[in-house]
Amino acid sequence: MKKRTLAYYLRIYLKILAQDIKSKMSYRADFFISTIGMIATNIAGVLSFWLVFQTFPSINGWNYYEMLFLYGFSLVSATPAQCLFDNNWNLRFQVYSGDFIKYCFRPINVFFYFMSEVFDIKGLGQCIFGIVAVAYAWIKLGIPFEFYSILLLIVAVLSASLFVIAILNLAASACFWLVNAFFVLTLSNQLRDFAKYPLTVFTPALRIAFTFIIPIGYMAYYPSLLFLRPEEVSWIVWLTPIFGIAFFYLSYKVWMKGALAYSGTGS
């Protein structure tokens, strides 16, 4: 069997992406309404921070611009999961209806084939909003604008994104074993909202849980310390890229184990 290279998968993905975007743009009203809704939701989130800080000068030592940086960072780090892995939300329907079996008979990676069918273009609007929030907070906080800082920010965002994607993969993979796994996806999405806050506002027990059990802290808080509180950076922060890769790989293996088990049962 011919070896599948990265270039091979990239060519296939671009073709599938083009078709998916064409189909979405045929319903332009739905696209624009959804995009406006997403932007409005994010604006409401920023306004809620602003209203709170009109009464309190800081929250557990974190000022408005630091919180805004965290908020924007969490939006940007969630973008790859939103755009590239959003089909995870449809996995339960495919599994329960039996339609998922079609992905098991194609001569390409099942995980790649399934994820490539959907590209949520609305996530780009979320990304732009997050970039603007981070840039504005960056300026207000007086963080040096240097090549090293920008490069570090890109690495930090990509590392954090791996955690967002991994948690989504793991939550979605529950569909292969649980009859009603939608609550798992919903719970993972709700937990992701905690990434917009510094871990210091939570109890010690939750800090441990959000670091070693459900790694919410790596989605924004730990990477953001590199820019907001460099004096508080520990070895855990510097190992974020390694942890992210390992956690993503684990989520991929779990997802694939469920997919292969599904195919083996002939469901």
Q: What percent of the chain has pLDDT over 70?
A: 94
Give the pair of three-digit tokens for residue 79.
Answer: 């973008």
What pLDDT sits at residue 199?
Answer: 93
What pLDDT sits at residue 160?
Answer: 97
If you average pLDDT over residues 80-87, what whole number do you get?
Answer: 94
> Does an H or E element contain 251, and which?
helix 240-265
Query: In the predicted model, what is the mean pLDDT of the chain?
Result: 88
Measured from the Cβ of residue 71, the count of other Cβ atoms closer than 10 Å reads 23
Where helices occur in 27-121 by DSSP H, the ranges are: 28-53, 64-84, 91-97, 110-116
The model's confidence at residue 267, banded by pLDDT at 50, 70 and 90, is very low
From 219, 211, 254, 251, select the one nearest 235 (Cα to Cα).
211
pLDDT at residue 264 greater than cutoff 60: no
pTM for this one? Answer: 0.89
Size of the chain, expressed as the number of residues it contains? 267
pLDDT, one tens digit per residue, over 122-162 is 788 889 889 999 999 999 999 998 999 999 999 999 999 99
pLDDT, one tens digit per residue, over 97-119 is 888 988 888 888 999 999 998 88
C-alpha distances in Å from residue 2, one per residue of 5, 107, 110, 260: 9, 10, 17, 21
Give the pair of three-digit tokens for residue 186.
Answer: 């919903």
Listed by start position, the domains of the chain span 6-265
If you average pLDDT over residues 170-180, what whole number do you get?
Answer: 91
Between 41 and 65, the more confident residue is 65
> Largest Cα–Cα distance in the chain?
66
If you average pLDDT over residues 251-264, what whole number do you get?
Answer: 87
pLDDT, one tens digit per residue, over 48-77 is 777 877 777 777 889 989 999 999 999 999
pLDDT at residue 266 greater than cutoff 50: no
- CB 68 within 8 Å of CB 59: no
Please name the amino acid found at residue 180.
N
From 242, 183, 225, 236, select the one nearest 70 (Cα to Cα).
225
pLDDT at residue 222 greater than cutoff 80: yes
